[in-house]
Amino acid sequence: MDLKLDRSVAVVTGASKGIGLAVTRTLLAEGARVVAVSRSRTADLDALSGPDLLHVTADLMDPEAPARVVAEAVRAFGGVDVLVNNAGGVPAGVTMPRPSFLDASDAEWQAVFEFNLFLAVRAIRAVLPVMLEAGGGSIVNVSSGNARQPSPMNADYGAAKAGMNNLTKVLSEEFAPKGVRVNTVSPGPVRTAWWTDEGGAADTIAAMADSDRDTVMDTLAPQMMSLSTGRLADPQEIADAVALLASPRSASTTGAEFAVDSGYLKGL
């Protein structure tokens, strides 16, 4: 199916690995020009180099960085049609997973909210004037199943992502009449560095369960999280949903949340 993204301009945050890298690769394959934003380059991102890819090095924890990124996108490609707020997860200096609400300090809560909510707020604030002037656009916020599945584990992260879901609805209500669609994709557990890196979630859970990393990802985590498919998702599966929502093919979809979570969410 042609997603009608040819020559559109997309800004993707957290683009150097995992879901962001898969989104970048997918949008390029659909003919989009992509501004890939990350704190550093990776070999996998470099492998996508070409005239339609611009890498912008930025630490989005800097409140001024999102505006600079949008200005660079406009300078390089003439505008922004799509914003994918993918950057998030574990900020520098914070360790996850944490099994209890009591394990996180005020400073950690603040860092998690900065990284998982306020980055998106600032990026949206920077891009909206560009989209409105052009007559429309699409914003896709990458949230989490934990936004709607409360858990004592990583309570601050779940609360920040719940704020992301609420923000999506608010923005859609205000800006859909002006041509800007805003939607959310909520992954469950995905095979990204958050799980697979040394010292990451799989290692932490393996230490608690007297197991090993591979067993956690292949068996224990799907069982613990009651994943209907019996497996963690692949980043490409998240990227496919993001690309569809970014596309004009989803012209009547706004304010929606798409769960791509291996059956993690059980409620209505």
Which sequence positions are flagged as catalytic?
157
Task: Give the CA distances from residue 125 to residues 2, 66, 168, 254, in Å, rounded to whole numbers and listed in that order.
Answer: 30, 9, 13, 18
Task: Give the CA distances from residue 82 to residues 34, 117, 123, 124, 164, in Å, rounded to whole numbers and listed in that order.
Answer: 9, 18, 12, 11, 17
* Strand locations in the chain (E): 9-13, 33-38, 53-57, 82-85, 137-142, 180-187, 257-260
Is residue 239 within 8 Å of residue 23, measured between CB atoms?
Answer: yes
The helix/strand/coil state of 209 is helix
Going by the DSSP 8-state scheme, the letter that residue 36 receives in this structure is E
